[in-house]
Amino acid sequence: MKSKERVLTTLANQEADRVPVNYSANGGIDKRLKKHFGLNTNDHEGLLQALGVDFRGIGARYTGPKLHKDIPERGVSVNNWGIHTRWIEHDTGGYEDFCDFPLRDADAEIIANWPMPAPTDYDYSTICQSCRHMNEYAIYVGNAGLGDIINSNGMLRGMEQTLVDLITEEPAGILLAKRRTEINLEITRRTLEAAKGGVDFMWMGEDLGTQIAPIIGLDLYRRVIRPLHQQFIDLAKSFDLPVMIHTCGSSSWAYEDFIEMGINAVDTLQPEATNMAPEYLKKNFGGRLAFHGCISTAGPVAKGTVEETIEYCSNTLDIMMPRGGYCFAPTHALQDNSPTDNVVAMYDTAREHGKY
C-alpha cells in the first residue's frame, strides 16, 4: 500500500499492510536525527522519508499584517492571536513558555475588539498544488490544537481563569472561545475548498485530562465545549473526511461522546494516565475508534536503553495491532532528552514489527 491508502484503511479500523507511522519532535532531537541520517538541518521532508512517516500536513500561509508587537526587552514573542511566549533553557534543550496572559482580566468588550487574524489574510493559492505534490501520503488539515478551547483560551487568559470561565459560562471567556472558533473554522473551510479533494482527514484537539483524572466534568464538556467541537466535525463530514482528535492525559471518559459526534480516531493516548493504557483502550473502544499515539515520550524512549525501547514498542504494537485501527506515533513531541539511538530504534521497530 501507499501511505495514503495505509492510513485511510487504518482510520476505517481495518488492517493495512503495516501500521502507519507518524512523527513529532522538539527542535533538539529533530536536529540530532537529521545529523544521524546525514541530512541538512532544514531537510524536514528527508527526515520524514528516512523514518517512514505516512502523514503530511497542509495549511494556508498567513500573509496579513503583524497584529501584536513583540516585547524584545523582555525576550517575549507575541503571535497574531496575542499569545505571549518566552524561550526557557533547560539541561537538554529548551521550550517556549506561555506568559503574561494579556486577556486574563479582560471583559467582553475588550475581547470583542482584540485583534485576531482574518481568514482573508491567508494565502490559499498553493494548497491544491501542495496536495498534488504529496498525493501518495495521507494529507491532513489542522493540527493537534485546531478547535481547542481550554488550551488556547488558557494561553490568553491563564488556565485558572479559563476554567472559571467554563464553569460559570463567563461572557468574556465564552466570547473568546467563540471568536477563535469562528475564525479557525472559516480558515479551515477555505483551506478544504482550495484543496479540491486533496485532503484525507481533519486533525483537531482538546486537552481534557491530567495524568490522574479529567480536567472538567462530562456535563461541562457537553454544555460548553462539545457544541464548538461539533462545528469542526460537521465541516469535515461535509467534505466526507474522517476526524482525529488530540486529547492529552486521562481523556477516555469523553470517548463515547466522541463516537456520537462522528469522530473516527483519537490521538496522544498517554499510557501512564488513568484509563489510557493500550489494553484498556483496545478492549473498550477498539473497532469503534482508531488510535494514534501510545508511544510514551516519558518512558523507555526517553529513559531506557535501545533494547528496552524495542521491547516497549513491540509490546505496544502487539496490543494495538490486532484487527487494525492503530497508527504508531509518540504521545507528544519527542523530547530533547530522548537518546538518538532510542528514537531510531523506535521507528525501526515500527517498520519491522508493525507488519501484518
Q: What is the distance between the alpha carbons of residues 161 and 178, in angstroms, rounded to a whole number?
A: 16
| Average pLDDT for runs of 10 along the chain of length 356 | 98 98 96 98 98 98 98 97 96 92 98 98 98 98 97 97 98 98 98 98 96 97 98 98 97 98 97 98 98 98 98 98 98 96 98 97
Does 189 reside within a domain?
yes
Whole-angstrom Cα distance, residue 26 to residue 92?
11
Residue 330 belongs to a domain with what CATH number? 3.20.20.210
Which cell is 250 given?
Answer: 486521562
| Domain presence at residue 85 | no
Tally the domains of the chain. Answer: 1
Residue 92 lies in a domain: no
CA dist., res. 350 & res. 201, Å (int): 22
The three-point CA angle 18-22-24 to 5° equals 160
Parent domain of 161: 3-62+118-353
Residue 149 belongs to a domain: yes
CA distance 167 to 169: 6
Cβ neighbour number for residue 333 with a 10 Å cutoff: 17
Other Cβ atoms less than 10 A from the Cβ of 260: the count is 10
Kindly state whether residue 75 falls inside one of the protein's structural domains. no
Instruction: Give residues with Cβ within 8 angstroms of 112, minimum separation 6.
Output: 175, 179
292 in any annotated domain: yes
Angle between helices 159-168 and 171-195 (to 10 degrees): 100
| Integer Cα distance of 51 and 350 in angstroms | 10
Residue 184 φ/ψ region, left for φ over 0, alpha for ψ in the -120 to 50 degree band, beta for the rest: alpha
What is the pTM for the complete model shown? 0.97
| The predicted structure's pLDDT at residue 90 | 87
Q: Name residues whose C-beta falls within 8 Å of residue 99's C-beta, 6 or more positions apart in sequence.
A: 76, 84, 85, 86
Q: Which long-range contacts (CB under 8 A, 24 or more apart) does 96-101 make?
A: 98/154, 98/155, 100/76, 101/155, 101/156, 101/157, 101/158, 101/161
- Per the structure block, which three cell numbers stand in for 230? 461539533
**113 in a domain, yes or no?**
no
Confidence (pLDDT) at 296? 98
Integer Cα distance of 190 and 62 in angstroms: 13
| Residue 83 domain-assigned (yes or no) | no
Measured CA to CA, the distance from residue 77 to residue 68 in angstroms comes to 9
Burial of residue 138 (number of CB atoms within 10 Å: 0-12, 13-18, 19+) = buried
Q: In what order do the strands lie in the sheet with 84-90?
A: 76-78, 84-90, 93-99
Q: Are the beta carbons of 150 and 67 closer than 8 angstroms?
A: no
pLDDT attached to residue 46: 98
* pLDDT of amino acid 93: 85
State the pLDDT at residue 37. 98
